[in-house]
Structure 1
Amino acid sequence: MTMLVDTQQAQALWSGCGYIHKFTYQGELLVAKVATVPAQLAHRHITQSPHSLRRKYQSYEKELNFYRHTGQRYISVCTLPEVKALAHQNEVFILVLSDFETQGYRNVSAASRVHLDYMLTWLARFHAVGLVDPDLLTGVVRGNYWHLDTRPDEFERMASGELKNSAQAINQRLIDCPYQTLIHGDAKLANFAFSSKQALGYDFQHVGLGVGIADVMLLLTSIYSGRELETQALVCLDSYFEQLGRALSGIWSAERIAELEKSWRELWPYVWADFHRFLMGWKPDHQKLTAYMFSQSELCLAQLGEVRC
């Protein structure tokens, strides 16, 4: 096995958590993700607490477990990198994958409508697997990186107000939804690559239980500005549900698919409010705090107020 140490072949992971290396083995170009969690992150907005250290450590465990136990169930439905080897030793996580660039996939810095459709299709197919095979969800913890129970530090830093007061009710509403599936948990543009025909998804550190539209919401925040969200969000949501219906067709009845869509559409304001809550505690001047997010949060809070009355 020959490791390429050229600096062009090594990429630092988020906030000093390791590196991604490209290397050749038996003539094949592979990618090794070598991760460890430092006591203090190289991030100007984050001071590492014992809780955040544990959360980051567990995120790398999640990714290895996904590829070890679950990924093969998905690879025939939606494109993932092929796993070549994985290991966890002395608090170091090593994941060796096929290099998707050799298979014709490329990252993009700005998404076209075609790219967006590919990602929505990928997410719909990914979510459909967990919906039709609930055994995959046994013992799975909540997904995404902003889940309330994993963010006590950010919650504590939030300013007092209705959103903070309603955080647990919002969280519970999402948990109580009868249609849970496996979500990617960090479905931003940077975690997809594209061929001329489809998207490939990767980086499964925040995979877990949830409602599929949480992934759709996060994806849109990585692509659109607030003004664009006003006109494009529901168009994209319609496209996602169209693809989800296709993925479930022939397995679920039309009536059950319609009920799923109704249930998740009702939660659209809740997934925005949930992410809004996280951002207000993490970085309250974040560019993703848009007028569209505020309006969805207000709608969520109004609905909760009606329930309480």
Structure 2
Amino acid sequence: MLHSLTTSYKLALGSSLLIFLPILISRALVSPSSEMSPPPSPSSVASSLLVSRGLHLQSLKVIQSLWAGYGEICHMTASPNSSPNSSAKTSRSASTTNSNGSTPQEIQSFILKLITPPPTKSNDEGHLRKILSYQVEQYFYSELAPLLPPSVPVASCVASINQHHADGTSTTAMLLSDLRQRYPVAGDKRAQLAATQVHAALDWLSGFHGFWWPRAKAMDRRSFVRPPLEEIKLTAEDGREKSVWLNGGYTYLATRRKEYDDLASDYESEWTGALTKPLEDAISLSEVVADLLGPREQGWGRTEAYQTLIHGDVKSENLFTSTSGEEVAFYDFQYVGLGLGVCDLAKLFTCSVPLHLLVSYLDAPLGRELAMQPGEKALLERYLARLKAVSQKEYDWSVFVRHWETALVDWLRFQASWGFWGNTEWLEARVRWILTDGRWGEEVVGDWKHGQRTEAV
């Protein structure tokens, strides 16, 4: 399996999907043109994608706009072309792979993700992050998603395009199978999941992380996407082809220095001193934590043995569940990349898990400090048990907890610098306790100091 997986990566890196990424980025950096042509309509893009599959557009409805007007997400239906030479049968089969397993119907349901970003200047990190994220997502759906087992359901990419225009704009589109056919219950924006849905989400994440954990080392890290401002320089210099993020997620410190600097100068915040005050060698705790969690392009990081692919943006609004809530399927893979699975859990627990599943006010009312409570521990134990079963790898509980608590500190650093939401009282109370735990400090900061001395030798 590992040999075939590695071969798949090599083939993927030669695909036309990735060849045009340097062009996309470089053209996205030019100044807006007064003669810029309007972006193509969703219906015209949908029709062009469908015709290659022997299908004809029946209906299309915009259901969501992308961030900052970068495009739309549409629901559409299609039917087979009447032409006797159409490939409708093939397309109907493809649209159900790894998504619902149902018998193809004459009228089929799809999701169109259409990205038509404006051009902008090269120092706009947020824009570059989005441009790169959509390419990462397209790579994931086209090359990695088909490798996942049925127990980790995701949408199938039926067709996709990358078009680059003379005025510096571009059109990127993915035609995806409609997960709602099997998972009709959508997770609401910034909402809490029911207990059954939380358990299903943990099972999906442990299956996803467990599948990629033993396979992550086979991936060519030279193809991984770096932080946006670093990536654009590398792209211009060597034209490297891209796969997924070297560091999964969008909140890690290397790509959030502005927010971190804002926190460092915010003397009214409780967390300024704890997270940004320099320790030895002018390195802050946040930077020590980032070094522990962050994957490296080369060399042996302190968590290298536990790194897998993570989703990168785990929250209730990025999943659908079955009617019973016992099955879940995630989507929105713009920030998939290397990392520790606990980094996905940190956001999930803070933003989408009901507080009563983490802590009982009767047993441990939220105060200034809070140790791990039975509810939190039970959820973590469920995740870890399946993670080890799927991966067939060992993960000692004490090591896992150290990684988990470190991920909470890192997630708090982002929220403190960007804005709090979710189970804020719980997160802050947990991190206060973690920072006063001498054993955590010795293991995390002490190990970092030891690692620095070892690397110096």
For the criterion TM > 0.5, the same-fold answer is yes
Alignment pair present for 1:92 and 2:204? no
Per the alignment, residue 162 of structure 1 pairs with: 274
Distance change >3 Å, CA 4–CA 157, structure 1 → 2: farther
* Cα-to-partner distance string for 1:213-268 (whole Å, 9 max, x where unaligned): 111121112224656533432221121112223323xxx3xxx5243x44222112
CA-CA distance at 1:212 after TM superposition: 0.5
* Cα-to-partner distance string for 1:151-175 (whole Å, 9 max, x where unaligned): 1221121134221231110011113
- Gaps (5+ residues) in structure 2? 1-55, 80-106, 165-169, 225-245, 267-271, 277-283, 295-301, 361-374, 450-457
Per the alignment, residue 352 of structure 2 pairs with: 223
Task: Give the whole-Å Cα distance in 2 for the aligned partners of 1:295 and 1:121.
Answer: 27
* Structure 2 contact 160–175 (Cα < 8 Å) conserved: yes
Distance change >3 Å, CA 205–CA 188, structure 1 → 2: same
Among 71, 81, 90, the residue aligned to 1:18? 71
Alignment pair present for 1:269 and 2:398? no
How many percent identity over aligned positions? 25
Distance change >3 Å, CA 298–CA 137, structure 1 → 2: farther
TM-score, scaled to structure 1: 0.85
* Cα-to-partner distance string for 1:264-285 (whole Å, 9 max, x where unaligned): 22112211111111112212xx
Q: Give the counterpart letter for 2:198 in structure 1.
A: L
* Cα-to-partner distance string for 1:81-113 (whole Å, 9 max, x where unaligned): 111012222333211101112234321434221
Task: Give the whole-Å Cα distance in 2 for the aligned partners of 1:36 and 1:167.
Answer: 36
Distance change >3 Å, CA 297–CA 5, structure 1 → 2: same
- Gaps (5+ residues) in structure 1? 41-47
Alignment pair present for 1:36 and 2:155? no
CA-CA distance at 1:298 after TM superposition: 2.9
Distance change >3 Å, CA 58–CA 201, structure 1 → 2: same
- What secondary structure sits across from 1:20 in the alignment? strand
Per the alignment, residue 58 of structure 1 pairs with: 132
TM-score, scaled to structure 2: 0.59
Distance change >3 Å, CA 267–CA 192, structure 1 → 2: same
Task: Give the whole-Å Cα distance in 2 for the aligned partners of 1:82 and 1:182.
Answer: 18
Distance change >3 Å, CA 194–CA 124, structure 1 → 2: same
* Structure 2 contact 152–329 (Cα < 8 Å) conserved: yes
- What secondary structure sits across from 2:186 in the alignment? coil
**Equivalent residue runs for 1:203-282 within 5 Å:** 203-224=332-353, 229-231=358-360, 232-248=375-391, 252=392, 256-259=393-396, 261-282=397-418
- What secondary structure sits across from 2:415 in the alignment? helix
Task: Give the whole-Å Cα distance in 1 for the aligned partners of 2:180 and 2:112.
Answer: 14
* Structure 1 contact 279–289 (Cα < 8 Å) conserved: no
Distance change >3 Å, CA 108–CA 55, structure 1 → 2: closer
* Cα-to-partner distance string for 1:179-203 (whole Å, 9 max, x where unaligned): 1000001111111111244111111
Question: Which of these two proteins has the greater Rg computed from alpha carbons?
Answer: 2
Distance change >3 Å, CA 96–CA 234, structure 1 → 2: same
Among 401, 420, 426, the residue aligned to 1:292? 426
* Structure 1 contact 213–271 (Cα < 8 Å) conserved: yes
CA-CA distance at 1:54 after TM superposition: 1.0
* Structure 2 contact 350–424 (Cα < 8 Å) conserved: no
How many residues align structurally?
Answer: 291
**Equivalent residue runs for 1:35-184 within 5 Å:** 35-38=115-118, 50-90=124-164, 91-109=170-188, 110-135=192-217, 137-139=219-221, 140=224, 141-158=246-263, 159=266, 160-164=272-276, 165-175=284-294, 176-177=302-303, 178-184=305-311
Alignment pair present for 1:4 and 2:59? yes
